[in-house]
Chain A
């Protein structure tokens, strides 16, 4: 491999990175030199685009988009103790963010309390540690939950953590009917990409369905699922794979919830999505537009949804963490800006921008603020927010949107032929596709077929390190202490009883949400509830790689 060039250095015999022979999008889709109206023969505005706010919503789900209301600036945050994260959430609200988004630590994500042996070294490291309702109450203290919405990135134990949120809100006098927010709760992408699964697919889907059904009835303003492509892309997929696997996951969830007895219009308006925004601005914008168009068709034609709200693909976007480099971290501000702009030009409802120290640690206060300012500059200074789907009509963008749509449907056919998404996952299909794309990308970078500034071109002799956030090891001690105290002061007999009842219900097909809520109210811990469910549902181990 050629070593990275130093500034001004010429690659002996080959010159500075020249122009590629062929041009493609970042994901490898061929790109022509010129696009004209000839590329859009047969293009029909009402069929292929529609006005913003009108089927098939290619141009946006609302007629005025950001002229009416800016996207929600929702910075994913979480580290250390619930108190640490509570302070960061208050801080970011004071800096102008307009929505909350909570990152949990790995023990919490995997259903272990902070005092579990497997939690050693992990407590508070990549998100906030939440083991009980008491932790949730600390986490949410003083936050204006009726004015700002909260998104929680939690999957396998989502029903439990959501129950903690609901009970904490209830204790604060909030009305569940008015409560608005999102739980990620997308287990299919865990098997495909993020790999934070606990139980096998069938019982995991049962938990997701239970929470969607419960939400439709009890929390009509809540989004009980955020069907995600972000993680699929982070695992190395192409843009089309990200889109196709996400929307096909969506199709799978709709099928499962319908089988549970709900009519599609009873729950579909509250399905939400979550996409990545990577470096190739036009590829990303085409992806977002195609997503809306495809989902609208799927809902109206495949599922017969009649409520227009069921047709709308509402989504949160996060800029691509995997694109950010450890080398020359300040370059990451530029990458994040381009990616955020793509998210806005693509019509996202909500946006998180990564911090420049992404490849090193969780964001510091300063880098999280800078990331937020990136959104604010775009919103208030660039003019982009005053324009609705301004890239529409571009020969290139419209052609790319159509190609993306076509490629997505091809994946739908493949996955349908495999018997659906759960079957495809069990067969290893999406996982293999992602790995192939990731490997090809890595090889391309090492060949310098793809240039990454500061890494394989324009590298520095010496790197100047940035100050990073270090998580205090005392957080774990502190959280374990709190658990000890909790177990002394709560009604342990009551806890046992609610846990046993949960275990009993788990072996039936009753909706588990009420049982989980009872456990939460009695201050059963996350780990205790998950242990009960592990015993009933079993645990999942993915098929061996190769």
Chain B
């Protein structure tokens, strides 16, 4: 990473879920780690998230979802990102995601899923080591 360009991350809360304890902790941890973080706030549609990602020109998107709606919502977000030409934006997911749903999410374009118990340090490390390098 160029030392003078900070990693830009969108932390997004899609769907109706209002549980934001984790999303806010991750947003803060990423900021503390020197990244630029945009938090979408609650109840964003996949369309709103894709637009925000594009407008903010982010390197990574962290999707936080605990409502059980991830199998519908996350692939939709990934679809929209691809449609906007953002396939090299790193997509990671956190929340309540059963093991058996992870393969499908990865097929849809998710790079990593952070289940309960994950540490913010690991999330920071993952983003740092997996974001696209500038051309």
User: Is the C-beta of A334 less than 8 angstroms from some C-beta in chain B?
Assistant: no
The answer on a CB contact under 8 Å between A361 and B98 is yes
**Could you mark each residue 17-39 of chain B with 1 if its beta carbon is under 8 Å from any beta carbon of chain A, else 0?**
11111001101110000000001
Q: Which of B21, B29, B71, B120 is A121 in contact with, Cβ under 8 Å? A: B71
A435 to B121, CA, bound (A): 18
The answer on a CB contact under 8 Å between B117 and A327 is yes
* Minimal beta-carbon separation of A254 from chain B (angstroms): 26
Question: Given A106-B17, A126-B67, A359-B96, are A325 and B117 also a contact pair (CB < 8 Å)?
Answer: yes
Closest to A436 in B: B28
User: Is the C-beta of B73 less than 8 angstroms from some C-beta in chain A?
Assistant: yes
The answer on a CB contact under 8 Å between A439 and B16 is no
Q: Which of B56-97 contact A (CB under 8 A)?
A: 67-73, 96
**Could you mark each residue 529-546 of chain A with 1 if its beta carbon is under 8 Å from any beta carbon of chain B, else 0?**
000000000000110111
Q: Which of A106, A359, A360, A438 is B67 in contact with, Cβ under 8 Å? A: A106
The answer on a CB contact under 8 Å between A542 and B41 is yes
The answer on a CB contact under 8 Å between B98 and A439 is no
User: Is the C-beta of B133 less than 8 angstroms from some C-beta in chain A?
Assistant: no
The answer on a CB contact under 8 Å between B28 and A439 is yes
User: Is the C-beta of A262 less than 8 angstroms from some C-beta in chain B?
Assistant: no
* Minimal beta-carbon separation of B76 from chain A (angstroms): 8
User: Is the C-beta of A465 less than 8 angstroms from some C-beta in chain B?
Assistant: yes
* Minimal beta-carbon separation of A501 from chain B (angstroms): 29
The answer on a CB contact under 8 Å between B16 and A106 is yes
Q: Which residues of A contact B18 (CB under 8 A)?
A: 190, 194-196
The answer on a CB contact under 8 Å between A438 and B21 is yes
A122 to B18, CA, bound (A): 13
Total contacting residues, chain A, CB less than 8 A: 45
Total contacting residues, chain B, CB less than 8 A: 34
The answer on a CB contact under 8 Å between B25 and A439 is yes
Question: Given A106-B15, A195-B42, are A326 and B121 also a contact pair (CB < 8 Å)?
Answer: no
User: Is the C-beta of B99 less than 8 angstroms from some C-beta in chain A?
Assistant: yes
The answer on a CB contact under 8 Å between B15 and A121 is yes
A121 to B75, CA, bound (A): 11
A1 to B45, CA, bound (A): 35
The answer on a CB contact under 8 Å between B72 and A236 is no
Interface of A: prevailing SS? loop
Q: Which of A118, A195, A196, A359 is B116 in contact with, Cβ under 8 Å? A: A359
The answer on a CB contact under 8 Å between A542 and B98 is no
Question: Given A106-B67, A326-B115, A446-B120, are A122 and B98 also a contact pair (CB < 8 Å)?
Answer: no
Q: Which residues of B contact A119 (CB under 8 A)?
A: 16
**Could you mark each residue 72-116 of chain A with 1 if its beta carbon is under 8 Å from any beta carbon of chain B, else 0?**
000000000000000000000000000000000011011010000
The answer on a CB contact under 8 Å between B41 and A541 is yes
* Minimal beta-carbon separation of B78 from chain A (angstroms): 14
The answer on a CB contact under 8 Å between B115 and A121 is no
The answer on a CB contact under 8 Å between B96 and A125 is no
Greatest chain A CB density within 10 A among B19, B68, B72 is at: B68
* Minimal beta-carbon separation of B45 from chain A (angstroms): 8
Q: Which residues of B contact A325 (CB under 8 A)?
A: 116-117
User: Is the C-beta of A483 less than 8 angstroms from some C-beta in chain B?
Assistant: no
The answer on a CB contact under 8 Å between A455 and B117 is yes
The answer on a CB contact under 8 Å between B72 and A542 is no
**Could you mark each residue 460-495 of chain A with 1 if its beta carbon is under 8 Å from any beta carbon of chain B, else 0?**
000001001011000000000000000000000000
* Minimal beta-carbon separation of B24 from chain A (angstroms): 6
Question: Given A125-B68, A125-B69, A361-B98, are A545 and B119 also a contact pair (CB < 8 Å)?
Answer: no
Q: Which residues of B contact A121 (CB under 8 A)?
A: 15, 69-73
Question: Given A121-B71, A446-B120, A545-B41, are A110 and B27 also a contact pair (CB < 8 Å)?
Answer: no
* Minimal beta-carbon separation of A428 from chain B (angstroms): 12
A325 to B28, CA, bound (A): 22
Question: Given A325-B117, A446-B120, A541-B41, are A120 and B72 also a contact pair (CB < 8 Å)?
Answer: yes
User: Is the C-beta of A442 less than 8 angstroms from some C-beta in chain B?
Assistant: yes
Q: Which of A281-320 contact B (CB under 8 A)?
A: none
The answer on a CB contact under 8 Å between A1 and B15 is no
The answer on a CB contact under 8 Å between B21 and A122 is no
User: Is the C-beta of A234 less than 8 angstroms from some C-beta in chain B?
Assistant: yes
A-B contact pairs, 29 of them (CB 8 A): A1-B122, A106-B67, A106-B69, A107-B16, A109-B16, A118-B15, A121-B15, A121-B70, A122-B67, A122-B69, A122-B72, A126-B67, A194-B18, A325-B117, A359-B117, A435-B25, A435-B28, A438-B21, A442-B25, A446-B121, A452-B117, A468-B98, A471-B68, A542-B41, A542-B42, A545-B20, A545-B27, A545-B41, A546-B28
Across the A-B interface, give the 5 residue pairs with the lowest CB-CB distance, nearest first.
A121-B72, A195-B18, A125-B68, A121-B69, A106-B16
Which residues of A approach B to under 8 Å, CB–CB?
1, 106-107, 109-110, 112, 118-122, 125-126, 190, 194-196, 234-236, 322, 325-327, 359-362, 435, 438-439, 442, 445-446, 452, 455, 465, 468, 470-471, 541-542, 544-546
